[in-house]
Amino acid sequence: MSSPKTPLDLTLDGGALTAALVDFPSVSGDEQALADAVEAALRGYPHLTVDRYGNNVVARTGLGRGERVLLAGHLDTVPIADNLPSYVEGDLLYGCGTSDMKSGVAVQLRLAATLTEPNRDLTFVFYDCEEVEAHRNGLGHLAAAHPDWLTADFAVLMEPSGAAVEGGCQGTMRVQVRLTGVRAHAARSWLGDNAIHHAAEVLTRLADYRPRRVEIDGLEYREGLNAVRIDGGVAGNVIPDECVVTVNFRYAPDRSEADAEKHLREVFDGFDVTVTDSAPGALPGLGQPAAQAFLAATGGVARAKFGWTDVARFSALGVPAVNYGPGDPNLAHKREEHCSLSAIAETEERLRAWLTA
């Protein structure tokens, strides 16, 4: 595994550079070593202006072109699952973050290093803490502290999409449904009221729930409402007086955050519901001229993005954006996470052609 002091060589091909990035462990909150390496590598290219804020690195060209395109990718990964260092089998590169999303970051770095005369001005954004709570997100911090660094006519978020264009993203909301009872000795349970038993009604409502399928701009978004955690219990001989069911709602981008919260309170009417985390979705916006031009250049047919991505942040900034990266979204966060080397090369080739045509 690479030492955190090992410099990044941006002349490596996309697959080898992805492997080098993967071998820099960078679980959310521990991205400094990788951010240092990315910053140092980019400062070696005189055609780029490089800025840093926290563990977020931004590199820009200043060629006076009539349009600016921003390419963004997060540096962090989910916790390592005994899947480092990286290794190759045939066309597949295995390791934590290969799909989500160090393969996309490798493509960004390759383009940043080599596109000295692009047909549009370019901004490359590398940010931290995407895989955790929304308030820690580095792109959000950049938007608040240095919004001018994110000015662009169009953005491509290098999230895993299987080298296909994915439009918009789902919104996400987590709530805690709190159930109360009366504590008592388990041998005299009739003197208490078991809070865990009250969770049965919450779970029944979830099991009976039928999520929507919504078509927007020709793309179908599928919603989901699921319990993701249950906390309760005091001791093996105590009737519990509290139980908390944590529920995650993934909703189509035609709902606002307020709409999503209202819906959850209707589903769990009669229960104590507290919102603990929330991030809005983003409409596809594929009718925008920049998005149409990107679709034509990549030769793909767009599909809906399942999951929340920072496309929503760009949408809030008024920047049309799509998801487009070499990783397979179905492999994100898995122990056997991997990425196709040919998909990395293909994604870089398509973006390079679009930015030099």
Please identify every residue annotated as catalytic. 76, 130
Check: CB of residue 37 under 8 Å from CB of residue 8. Answer: yes
The beta-carbon contacts of 206-210 under 8 Å, at least 24 apart in sequence, are 206/247, 209/267
Torsional sign, CA 258, 264, 268, 269: positive
At 198, list the tokens. 């009250």
Give the containing element (helix H, strand E) for 32. Answer: helix 32-42
CA distance 30 to 49: 25
At 197, list the tokens. 């038993």
DSSP annotation of 99: I
Check: CB of residue 350 under 8 Å from CB of residue 297. Answer: yes
Check: CB of residue 150 under 8 Å from CB of residue 313. Answer: no
CA distance 194 to 309: 39
**Strand ranges, E, within 170-271:** 171-180, 184-185, 213-216, 219-222, 224-232, 238-239, 242-251
Check: CB of residue 101 under 8 Å from CB of residue 34. Answer: no
What secondary structure does DSSP assign to 246-284, as a single string? EEEEEE-TTS-HHHHHHHHHHHTTTSEEEEEEEE--B--
